[in-house]
Amino acid sequence: MNKDKRQQIFEILRTDNPNPTTELEYSTPFELLIAVILSAQATDVGVNKATRKLYPVANTPESIYGLGEEGLKEYIKTIGLFNSKAANVIKACKMLIEKHDSEVPDTREELEALPGVGRKTANVVLNTAFNQPTMAVDTHIFRVSNRTGIAKGKDVVEVEKRLLKFVPKEFLMDAHHWLILHGRYTCVARKPRCGSCLIEELCEFKQKTEV
């Protein structure tokens, strides 16, 4: 895909959704961090249902740590992998209290040192909470990037690096959100909704299937 096409694609996505953001509900960087940890292999809708009950009771490292694993599980047991997630969240809270004065760090290295936080989670927090132009490549973004031709790659890290290289700088801050929403609602996995796609004319998947 050439530079002009990418420019047009992101201009269209920006016009359609000028201020994109995560669908996870949060009010502080810490609430976002916990929500993203909980969202692994789970839906944002499911996570929001759980955090709507959890956060009014506990929404700081100290208060969640005070619940303990068993107490936390009562709030998140509707989410997949809740046992391991509860363990990681409690350990992460302990580390935040002891090493970061209960503040969420704003560097990749420090975030990835927290239990339950991988590269994708760190990128979401850096981008959404701290306004850093990172690219958190999940299954949706991986699919959209490869299918459309915006940034093809064999794995998520390769796609991430190519997106950071190829997405025009003016769009980098919001590109993560546009791509994930596009993959979630339009460029879906089994049967992409090409007929209702805003960027259909620029997509190289469509052109390839018509050959």
What is the signed CA dihedral for 109, 110, 116, 119, rounded to 10 degrees? Answer: -30
Number of Cβ atoms within 10 Å of the Cβ of 21: 11
The predicted structure's pLDDT at residue 87: 97
The answer to whether residues 138 and 205 belong to one domain is yes
Give the pLDDT means over successive 10-residue stretches in the chain (211 positions).
Answer: 95 96 96 96 94 97 98 96 96 98 97 96 96 93 96 96 95 95 95 94 72 39
The predicted structure's pLDDT at residue 206: 58
Number of separate domains in the chain: 2
Domain of 91, CATH number, reads 1.10.340.30
Residue type present at position 42: A
Residue type present at position 74: E
Domain of 181, CATH number, reads 1.10.1670.10
For residues 45 and 23, give the distance between their C-alpha atoms in angstroms, rounded to a whole number. Answer: 8
Range of the domain at 161: 3-20+134-210
The predicted structure's pLDDT at residue 179: 97
The answer to whether residues 178 and 90 belong to one domain is no
Catalytic sites, residue numbers: 120, 138
Q: What is the pTM of this model?
A: 0.89
Tokens of 107: 């560097």
User: Are 174 and 20 spatial neighbours (Cβ–Cβ below 8 Å)?
Assistant: yes
The answer to whether residues 7 and 63 belong to one domain is no
* Three-class DSSP category at 90: helix
Tokens of 177: 């959100």
The answer to whether residues 33 and 105 belong to one domain is yes
Residue type present at position 31: E
